[in-house]
Amino acid sequence: MTTEQVEPGRDVWPRDVEAAAAGMLHERAVAEGAVGDRLREVWEEEPGFKGFLTTVNHKRIGRRYLVTAGFFFMLAGIQALVMRTQLGSPNNGVVSAETYNQLFSLHGTAMIFFFATPMNSGFGNFFLPLMVGTRDMAFPRLNALSYWIFLFSGLFMFASLPLGMAPDAGWFAYVPLSDRFSSTHGLEFYALGLLFLAVSSTVGSINLIVTALKMRAPGMTLARVPVFVWAIVTQSFMLLFALPPLDVANVMLFMDLRFHTQFFVESGGGDTILWQHLFWLFGHPDVYIIVLPAMGIISSVIPTFARRPIAAYSFVVLATVATGIISFGVWVHHMFAVGLSDVAQSFFAAATLTISLPAGIQMFAWLATMWRGRVVVTTALLYAVGFIVTFVIGGVTGVMFAVVPFDQQVTDSYFVVAHFHYVLFGGAVMPMLAGLFYWWPKMTGRSLHEKAGMWSFAVVFVGFNLTFFPMHLAGLLGMPRRIYTYDDGLGWTVWNVLSTAGSYVLGAGFLLTLGVFVESLLRQRWAPDDPWGGNTLEWATASPPEDYNFPVVPTVHSLNPLWDEQSLPSMVEHRHDGVRTMTDKHEALRTSELDARVEGPMAMPSDTPVPLWLALALTLSVVFLMAGWYVASAVAFGLVAAIAAYWMWDRPDVEEIEEEAG
């Protein structure tokens, strides 16, 4: 591959991208050689439906995360269209107040918990092992368990709507609204569903962290780890620290509802504000739990299409980690109107201003990368630029909330709804679409219709801004959030009409986007290994990747291993090294945490139904608990413990390898 120097001492990038994208990368073809057939035999999975139920392959699980999260996004989007139709004109009667409360509560809960975070988990599951140069996740069976629990918890939560028992106190479930004035069963679904989901998020986070720390390709020191991997690892650590307060709050809420304890009942010595503290201890870090991986996607897309390494890499990584840390000191800015002391509010106002600085660093790094590069306009890049525009607008309004008097004026107004969607919809969905268009050839082995993709971006971008920007003005005119209708003559009608029209345009944009993906699958335009001339290791694999990912684990020589003319040839150099090929057993390479020195092969488990059994047993225990069948729930939980014990005891792949090593 022909390259040229950017500046003395800087990395290089490919000059002739078309040559790089002509088909199978030469280095991978040579490295594959005779080892490919043996690796396919070793890593082969069960075919058919049995393989579907028993797979532990990180790529299949990653795709399932993406598809399942997309399905829940579709359901939540339909709920949003119903709500916007209800608010499209004054005194409308499309749905009743009770139905509207259930729709907007389940919509918010689904978007936050069952779409945004799991969607990022899908990208992390699929691409983190590829980016760090390994063959699978550190704990493949745990990875399968996290997906099955996510699926069953989402189905459990959505089942509440047709049963007429959906949550109806908002996605935030504020007490005393949630424990005294709302549907008891709906909030029990909420508390148990989120506790159930937390198991998936916790085990998934541990798996991602260990994979990134212990399974990086040799030579991939911490200074050579892609920004996307840093973002996923930071998100995973944040989940481990943010979920316990939410779990405690949901346990307390369920006990108040079911067993009449008094944790949040002031007459019984409880404290209603305690719920807000516990909830927002999770809720505000969760904004960045959602946004940081999305920013990592942007940091992958922009360098590729700017034909230049990302500017200020070290500062971008520091900004990513700093955002994760600072976000835990900002939660009270959601509570400026509840009567806390001025001293407490001043500290959290300062933290709210401070957290905008790391995001600003990343914004300037992306702009500098494009400014000094040779930009190639693609659909993925358009979505990345669309993210920058929408997230800056959301960030500006977010900084406004740090001004306590202003925050108290717009609290519980549609101004907050507008800000929230600019940050989380514009800040998460736009990058996710950028990632889908960018990595689609790698995930499916098929190319997309670029012109149709660009049209889909235009419709989505216009629809998004037409939907949510007028909400700022409606909020400043006094329109409160969480209302299902309003009277004429208040000055809100025109802005609601625009928002409702925009929501239908946005829905059409998503249908067009879906059509682009479906057309790609049907037409079967096969994609080469590296269609974009990318710079990170996932583009060194086949499209789609083989079950074993890399025929030979490479040695990484720079932050941009596909552009340095050393990392890819290392696969050829090590093609006869048994430690790098591992063709005899189901193994992956283990390396040291800091400098990625080789420690030796590590046994990996093959397909197994045990994660599915454990997830089903846990689902039964939650369903029985919801139904009030406490004995049956205890028995089901005992089954969970028994399956977990069998899981730890029965490790045939590991035992076989250890016996041979002994």
CA–CA separation, 400 and 243 (whole Å):
28
For 531-580, how does the pLDDT look when each residue is reduced to its tens digit (9 = 90+)?
Answer: 999 999 999 999 999 999 999 999 999 999 999 989 999 999 988 888 99
Report residue 183's pLDDT band, with 50, 70 and 90 as the boundaries.
low
CA–CA separation, 68 and 155 (whole Å):
10
What letter does residue 170 receive in the DSSP assignment? T
Per-residue pLDDT for 654 more than 90? no
CA–CA separation, 297 and 127 (whole Å):
11
Per-residue pLDDT for 314 more than 80? yes
Question: Could you say which architecture CATH assigns to the domain 48-523?
Answer: Up-down Bundle (1.20)
pLDDT value at position 267?
A: 87
With beta carbons less than 8 A apart as the criterion, state whether 575 and 33 touch. yes
User: For all residues of the chain together, what is the average pLDDT?
Assistant: 91
Arithmetic mean of pLDDT, 357-370: 96
pLDDT value at position 492?
A: 95
pLDDT value at position 652?
A: 52
Q: For residues 427 and 122, which has the higher predicted lDDT (pLDDT)?
A: 122
pLDDT value at position 653?
A: 55
SS3 category, 546: coil
Arithmetic mean of pLDDT, 286-300: 96
pLDDT value at position 173?
A: 92
CB environment 270-291: b (16+ within 10 A), e (fewer): bebbebbbbbbbbbbbbbbbbb
For 392-428, how does the pLDDT look when each residue is reduced to its tens digit (9 = 90+)?
Answer: 999 999 999 999 999 999 999 999 999 999 998 888 9
With beta carbons less than 8 A apart as the criterion, state whether 84 and 503 touch. yes
> Angle CA(510)–CA(511)–CA(513) in degrees, nearest 5?
60
CA–CA separation, 386 and 316 (whole Å):
20
Arithmetic mean of pLDDT, 60-88: 97
Arithmetic mean of pLDDT, 615-626: 97
- The values of phi and psi at residue 641, to 5°, are -65, -40
What is the percent of the chain where pLDDT is above 70? 94
Q: Per residue, what are the HEC states of 386-442?
A: HHHHHHHHHHHHHHHCCCHHHHHHHCCEHHHHHHHHHHHHHHHHHHHHHHHHHHHHH
| pTM exceeds 0.85 | yes
Can you say how many angstroms the Cα of residue 637 is from the centroid of all Cα atoms in its chain? Answer: 29
Report residue 35's pLDDT band, with 50, 70 and 90 as the boundaries.
confident
pLDDT value at position 659?
A: 52
- Within 10 Å of residue 338's Cβ, how many Cβ atoms? 12
- 489-492: long-range pairs with CB below 8 Å, 24+: 490/90
Give Cβ neighbours of residue 10 (< 8 Å, ≥ 6 apart). 309
Give Cβ neighbours of residue 445 (< 8 Å, ≥ 6 apart). 526, 527, 542, 543, 544
For 59-69, how does the pLDDT look when each residue is reduced to its tens digit (9 = 90+)?
Answer: 999 999 999 99
CA–CA separation, 121 and 72 (whole Å):
14
Arithmetic mean of pLDDT, 638-660: 74
pLDDT value at position 181?
A: 65
For 424-477, how does the pLDDT look when each residue is reduced to its tens digit (9 = 90+)?
Answer: 888 899 999 999 999 999 999 999 999 999 999 999 999 999 999 999 999 999
Per-residue pLDDT for 220 more than 70? yes
pLDDT value at position 650?
A: 67
Arithmetic mean of pLDDT, 300-321: 96
What letter does residue 534 receive in the DSSP assignment? -
Give Cβ neighbours of residue 16 (< 8 Å, ≥ 6 apart). 1, 2
Per-residue pLDDT for 1 more than 60? no
List Cα–Cα distances, 654 to 32, 42, 166, 586, 591, in angstroms: 26, 14, 44, 9, 18
User: 72-76, 133-137, 143-147, 256-260: lowest mean pLDDT where?
Assistant: 256-260
Per-residue pLDDT for 651 more than 70? no
Report residue 17's pLDDT band, with 50, 70 and 90 as the boundaries.
very low
Radius of gyration of the chain (CA): 25
What is the percent of the chain where pLDDT is above 90? 82
Residue 480: asked if its preceding bond is cis (omega within 30°), the reply is no
With beta carbons less than 8 A apart as the criterion, state whether 225 and 216 touch. yes
Domain range list for the chain: 3-43+532-603, 48-523, 610-661
CA–CA separation, 551 and 28 (whole Å):
8
Arithmetic mean of pLDDT, 64-92: 96
Element housing 195 (H / E): helix 184-214
- Within 10 Å of residue 269's Cβ, how many Cβ atoms? 8
> Angle CA(183)–CA(184)–CA(186) in degrees, nearest 5?
65
Q: At what angle do helices 379-400 and 430-444 cross, to 10 degrees?
A: 150
